[in-house]
């Protein structure tokens, strides 16, 4: 999905790795304090999936750092050590306060009050394909910062001058996929937002009280992508944007990415509308309570019968051609792109999940077969691979629709 609505977000508590960490006294630390736990860290998911693309590995996951001490802490440095299967050091990287570059600031908020949890997205998310990622060991440096005087003093400390040091380990896993998949749209399309480091699909506020209250237990969008159509200049619509049919994506066919059985489908959720001529404000239809509880509009959920499930959402009302229990073939048309649910303009949102419930199932990598990736005037044939933010693509698959 394309908005930041927390209904797109989630975590699975049962798959969180929780580590209690001791405090290692640094400069300015007392011996008594060295015996006290300073933090617990939770990784979501426990064993992050390595996504492979061309000559790179991508590793996206969250770390929730809870301040267990009675002091206000600032996360001052994160150091990563990468080890191979023989536990030999492969790489070491650090994110800290050195020089004028944003560095540690890229993680966002770095300050933790006593008892507070800080959500940190893994800042070391891309590696060369040749780098073995058997074990990742993170070292966290914290400094006290309870008042303006300590804040000012911290500005003049070296990056590795810590009051507390803690460690945390992650064992990633490779997931190559089970379902033969084709792109769910044909023609030349653009990935408006995928699941790269900055994509909102990955930004899950795991410690958010509203997320917990909604019972969301997994991020099904961890490897999601938003597909749109544009003209040759990259424009998403022509004429008056308040008319849905003026958007190049609206009404375009959606195809089953893989064979399977339809588990769920919705077809009667009205489209959203734009309130103003610049398409900067959206009006959502008033629905009966419980009509669209997930706020995804019209959708199709396909069970590929191998433990993988495709979720395609924001479809045009009345366009969905399948219902629960129907068997679909790869490439069969199942609906059209619409503007319903949690959407800021017409597009197709696609997620591949490890379970049928998008609030309780983690997303998994989708490796599509037989498409071209355009690089300006040139294109590259991809026999099998993922897609992500910024890609311009075209499927080579033929439709199975009659």
Domain ranges for the chain, please list them.
6-174, 188-395
CATH number of the 188-395 domain:
2.70.70.10
Element of type H or E holding 44: strand 37-44
CATH number of the 6-174 domain:
2.60.40.1470
The pLDDT value given to residue 99: 79
Torsion of CA 326, 329, 331, 335, to 10 degrees: 0
The pLDDT value given to residue 375: 95
Q: Are 370 and 22 in contact (CB under 8 A)?
A: no
What pLDDT digit, counting tens, does each position of 198-226 carry? 999 988 777 778 777 777 788 999 999 99
The pLDDT value given to residue 31: 37
- HSE of 313, CA atoms in CB hemisphere, 13 A: 26
Question: 349-366 in b/e burial notation, b at 16+ Cβ within 10 A?
Answer: bbbbbbbebbbbbbbbbb
Q: Are 242 and 288 in contact (CB under 8 A)?
A: no
Sites in the chain below the pLDDT cut of 70: 1-36, 398-402
Nearest to 300 by CA among 355, 263, 337, 339: 263
Nearest to 259 by CA among 303, 290, 222, 313: 303
pTM, to two decimals: 0.88
What pLDDT digit, counting tens, does each position of 296-349 carry? 999 999 999 999 999 999 999 999 999 999 999 999 999 999 999 999 999 999
- Give the distance from CA 353 to its chain's centroid: 12
The pLDDT value given to residue 23: 46
Cis peptide bond upstream of 304, omega within 30: no
The pLDDT value given to residue 35: 54
Torsion of CA 242, 245, 249, 253, to 10 degrees: 150
Question: 275-296 in b/e burial notation, b at 16+ Cβ within 10 A?
Answer: eeeebeeeebeeeeeeebebbb
CA angle 171, 176, 177 (to 5 degrees): 120
């Amino acid at each position: 999905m394309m908005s930041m609505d927390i209904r797109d977000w989630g975590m699975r508590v049962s798959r969180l790795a929780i580590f209690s960490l001791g405090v290692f006294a640094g400069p300015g630390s007392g011996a008594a304090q060295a015996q006290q736990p300073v933090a617990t860290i939770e990784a979501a998911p426990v064993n992050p999936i390595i996504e492979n693309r061309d000559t790179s590995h991508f590793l996206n996951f969250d770390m929730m750092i809870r301040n267990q001490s009675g002091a206000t802490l600032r996360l001052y440095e994160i150091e990563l050590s990468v080890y191979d299967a023989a536990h030999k050091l492969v790489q070491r990287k650090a994110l800290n306060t050195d020089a004028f570059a944003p560095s540690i600031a890229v993680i966002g908020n770095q300050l933790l009050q006593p008892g507070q949890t800080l959500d940190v997205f893994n800042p070391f998310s891309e590696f060369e394909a040749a780098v073995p990622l058997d074990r990742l060991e993170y070292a966290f440096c914290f400094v006290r910062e309870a008042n303006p005087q300590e804040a000012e003093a911290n500005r003049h400390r070296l990056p590795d001058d810590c009051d507390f040091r803690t460690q945390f380990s992650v064992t990633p896993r490779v997931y190559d996929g089970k379902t033969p998949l084709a792109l769910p749209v044909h023609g030349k399309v653009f990935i408006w937002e995928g699941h790269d480091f900055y994509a909102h699909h990955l930004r899950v506020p795991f410690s958010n009280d509203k997320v917990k209250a909604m019972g969301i237990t997994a991020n099904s969008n961890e490897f999601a992508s938003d597909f749109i159509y544009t003209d040759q200049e990259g424009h998403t619509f022509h004429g008056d944007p308040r008319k849905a049919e003026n958007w190049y994506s609206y009404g375009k066919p959606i195809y089953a990415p893989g064979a399977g059985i339809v588990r769920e489908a919705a077809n009667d959720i009205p489209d959203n509308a734009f309130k103003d001529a610049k398409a900067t404000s959206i009006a959502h239809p008033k629905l009966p309570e419980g009509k669209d509880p997930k706020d995804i509009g019209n959708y199709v959920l396909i069970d590929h019968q191998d433990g993988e499930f495709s979720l395609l959402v924001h479809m045009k009302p009345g366009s969905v051609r399948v219902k629960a229990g129907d068997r679909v073939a790869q490439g069969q048309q199942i609906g059209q792109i619409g503007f319903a649910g949690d959407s800021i303009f017409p597009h197709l949102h696609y997620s591949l999940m490890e379970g049928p419930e998008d609030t309780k199932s983690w997303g998994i990598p989708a490796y599509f077969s037989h498409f071209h990736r355009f690089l300006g005037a040139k294109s590259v044939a991809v026999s099998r691979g993922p897609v992500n933010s910024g890609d311009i693509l075209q499927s080579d698959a033929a439709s199975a629709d009659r």
